[in-house]
């Protein structure tokens, strides 16, 4: 294979970096971060040799970004939010005649916990040590505002705009919080769980239509039928 006589092209970097650094590394990162931001670090979760989560306070969100950038995590991966409230609408694949189930409204946050319904989370990568970190922060329920990361990471600009229109989270200090996808006068925040997905509302689920039973259908055979069904399911699993 002949590379284009491009003598400037670099040679392959040493392959020693292939080996992923061990877990002590991630503990070190958490310790380092704690040193930098102090009490703003609420919780950390390490999945050994795999991944790392930290949760910081809402006020410490911006400083965390700056601190992590200084600590070597200078590649911005993404920024988004999670709405932890279970959807009141379900998947739309329920029997409308059946007794409507009481929607599950319990808010349970994921890894590293949390106290609010909305959480922002972002991911940064250290390209030299080949390690990534997920940072989470609560967004106050009454006033969904967090600080912007655009000063540390220029790439956060678009991600925060997207997050703003999809979740209704405001980013204090963001230069230009216009909608990216939706019309300017659009009402609602589509990725919040209480925003209905209309495609699943306007049409009944074709899967609920059941086979019409025969009028003189007797119980015994119904049971047989079910057994047959179960056995076929077992076969193919």
Partner 1 sequence: MTMLSDRQQLSYIASQAADARLNVELETEGMTLNIGPQHPATHGTLRIICRLDGEQVVWAEPSAGYMHRGYEKLTEVRTFPQVTTLINRIDWLGSFANEVPFILAAEKLMEIEAPPRAQVIRTILFELSRIANVSLFLGDLGVQMGAITPVFLAFRDREYVLNLIEGATGGRFHPNFDRIGGLKDDLPKGWIDETRQVMIKLQQFCDTIEDLLFGNEIFQSRMRGIGIIPADIAKSYGLSGANLRASGIDYDLRRDQELPMAWDKADWRVWTHPDGDSFARCWVRLQETRESCKIVEQLLDQIPAGPIMTKVPRIIKVPEGEAWVATENPLGEMGYYVVSKGDLGPFRVKIRSASFNNISVVPWALKGVYVPDVITILASLYFILGDIDR
Partner 2 sequence: MPKVPGLIKGLGVTLGTLGKTVTEGAATVQYPHEKEAPPVRARGVIALHEGNCTACMLCARSCPDWCIYIEGHKQLAPPRRAGGKPRQVNHLDRFDIDYALCMYCGICVEVCPFDALFWSPEYEYSEPRIADLLHDKDKLGEWMETVPEAPALEAGAQSK
Which residues sit at the interface with partner 1, rule CB under 8 A? 1-4, 6, 8-10, 12-13, 17-18, 20, 49, 51, 53, 74-78, 80, 82-83, 86-87, 90-93, 108, 110-111, 121, 123, 127, 130, 132, 134, 152-155, 157-159, 166, 179-182, 190-191, 193, 195, 197, 199-200, 233, 236-237
Burial of residue 160 (number of CB atoms within 10 Å: 0-12, 13-18, 19+) = buried
Q: Is 5 in the site for partner 2 (CB under 8 A)?
A: yes
- What track of x and - describes contact with partner 2 for positions 190 through 209 (by CB under 8 A)? -------------x-xxx-x
Residue 213 interacting entry, from partner 2, partner 1, none, C-beta within 5 to 8 Å by type: partner 2
81 in Cβ contact with 167 (< 8 Å)? yes
Interface size with partner 2, residues (CB under 8 A)? 20
Q: 């106050």: which residue's tokens?
A: 140
Q: Which one, 1 or 19, has the nearer CB to partner 2?
A: 1
Residue 206 beta carbon to partner 2: minimum distance, rounded to whole angstroms: 5
* Contacts of partner 2 in 98-137 (CB under 8 A): none
CA distances from 107 to 114, 143, 167, 170, 225 (A): 10, 18, 16, 21, 40
CA distances from 120 to 55, 137, 139, 196 (A): 10, 5, 7, 21
Q: DSSP characters for 14-54?
A: PGGGGSPP-HHHHHHHHHHHHHHHGGGEEEEEEETTTEEEE
Stretch that binds partner 2, among 47-55, 135-143, 162-170, 229-237 (CB under 8 A): 229-237
Q: Is 225 in the site for partner 2 (CB under 8 A)?
A: yes
What dihedral angle (degrees, nearest 10) is formed by the CA atoms of 10, 15, 21, 25?
Answer: -30
Residue 218 beta carbon to partner 1: minimum distance, rounded to whole angstroms: 30
Residue 181 beta carbon to partner 1: minimum distance, rounded to whole angstroms: 4
The footprint of partner 2 (CB under 8 A) covers 5, 93, 203, 205-207, 209-214, 217, 221, 225, 229, 232-233, 235-236
């Amino acid at each position: 294979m002949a590379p284009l006589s491009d003598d400037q092209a670099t040679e392959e970097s040493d392959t020693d970096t292939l080996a992923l650094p061990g877990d002590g590394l991630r503990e070190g990162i958490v310790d380092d971060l704690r040193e930098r931001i102090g009490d703003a670090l609420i919780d950390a979760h390490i999945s050994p040799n795999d991944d790392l989560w930290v949760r910081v306070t809402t006020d410490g969100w911006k400083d965390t970004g700056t601190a992590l950038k200084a600590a070597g995590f200078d590649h911005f991966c993404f920024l988004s939010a999670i709405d932890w409230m279970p959807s009141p609408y379900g998947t739309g694949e329920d029997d409308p005649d059946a007794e409507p189930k009481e929607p599950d409204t319990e808010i349970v946050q994921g890894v590293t916990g949390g106290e609010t319904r909305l959480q922002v989370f972002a991911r940064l990568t250290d390209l030299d040590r080949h390690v990534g970190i997920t940072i989470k922060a609560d967004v106050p329920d009454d006033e969904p505002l967090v600080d912007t990361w655009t000063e540390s990471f220029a790439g956060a600009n678009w991600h925060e705009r997207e997050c703003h229109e999809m979740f209704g989270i405001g980013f204090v200090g963001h230069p230009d919080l216009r909608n990216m996808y939706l019309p300017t006068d659009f009402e609602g925040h589509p990725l919040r769980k209480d925003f209905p997905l209309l495609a699943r509302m306007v049409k009944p689920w074709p899967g609920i239509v059941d086979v019409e039973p025969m009028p003189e259908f007797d119980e015994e055979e119904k049971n047989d039928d079910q057994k047959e069904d179960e056995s076929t399911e077992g076969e193919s699993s």
